[in-house]
Amino acid sequence: MSYNVRNCTGLDGKTDYQRIANIINNANCEAVAIQELDSMTTRYEGQDMLKNLAELTGMYPTFAPSIDYQGGKYGIGMLTKEKPLSYRRVALPCRSEPRSLQIVELKDYYYCCTHLSLHAEDRETSIGIIIDELSKLDKPVMIAGDFNAEPEEESMKMMAEEFAIFKKDAAPYTFPADKPDIEIDYICLLKSGKVAKFEVLEHSIIDAPVESDHRPIVAEVKIN
């Protein structure tokens, strides 16, 4: 799964960890890439967003802070059913605020999370860094996140050269959550390296019109 949760604050203005956790629990995913998470900031009264979701889902949390913010941190994170073997953060450029690539190693594969810049030039630079970093890994690699780019943009064309960008089963739009008409959230698999064969069995958008400003996406993938 990939889900920009906007700090678990919905379009109705309510901050509700349980309804985000319900979406994750109902999807029954092995790994969830999550974007827009506060950790111990004054904005949300010292709440650790990812830890809260981990407690409600029974999954392992891995946080990748991108910036210092209001007494705490702000960034991206991962929830996994399996305890990660390792994890690290790679800094990505953004002229308005630093961004991150999070690499989480699991037993049979790597699952990575990112949230790219709002600036096209920064996104293209970031894709180059992502390709370089993930091409070094010694297991199958998937990356998911909010790329802030539509499919026809140059950054996603760069991604498509090295990654299989999973096609969604129906209308691909993920933003805004109430009436989505833009596709900017993706799950991808590195085509080179340790992947002999893969099959996307299902890739869908969950009907979640109010819980965040993005809709979550879920893919079931078979890798040989």
Provide the CB-side half-sphere exposure for 148 (13 A, CA): 17
Q: Is the Cβ–Cβ distance between 10 and 20 less than 8 Å?
A: no
What is residue 105's predicted lDDT score, i.e. its pLDDT? 98
What is residue 98's predicted lDDT score, i.e. its pLDDT? 92
How buried is 95 (Cβ within 10 angstroms: 0-12 exposed, 13-18 middle, 19+ buried)?
exposed
Q: Is the Cβ–Cβ distance between 145 and 2 less than 8 Å?
A: yes
What is residue 107's predicted lDDT score, i.e. its pLDDT? 97
What is residue 177's predicted lDDT score, i.e. its pLDDT? 98
What is residue 56's predicted lDDT score, i.e. its pLDDT? 98
Q: Is the Cβ–Cβ distance between 221 and 201 less than 8 Å?
A: yes
CA pseudo-torsion sign 211, 37, 140, 85: negative
What is residue 195's predicted lDDT score, i.e. its pLDDT? 76
* pLDDT under 70: residue ranges of the chain: 193, 196
- Give CA–CA dist 66/169, Å, rounded: 32
What is residue 140's predicted lDDT score, i.e. its pLDDT? 94
What is residue 180's predicted lDDT score, i.e. its pLDDT? 98
219 token code pair: 């893919």
Specify the DSSP class assigned to residue 8. G
What is residue 42's predicted lDDT score, i.e. its pLDDT? 83
Q: Is the Cβ–Cβ distance between 75 and 36 less than 8 Å?
A: no
CA pseudo-torsion sign 222, 146, 14, 47: positive
What is residue 84's predicted lDDT score, i.e. its pLDDT? 98
Q: Is the Cβ–Cβ distance between 73 and 97 less than 8 Å?
A: no
The C-alpha angle 192, 102, 145, rounded to 5 degrees, equals: 80
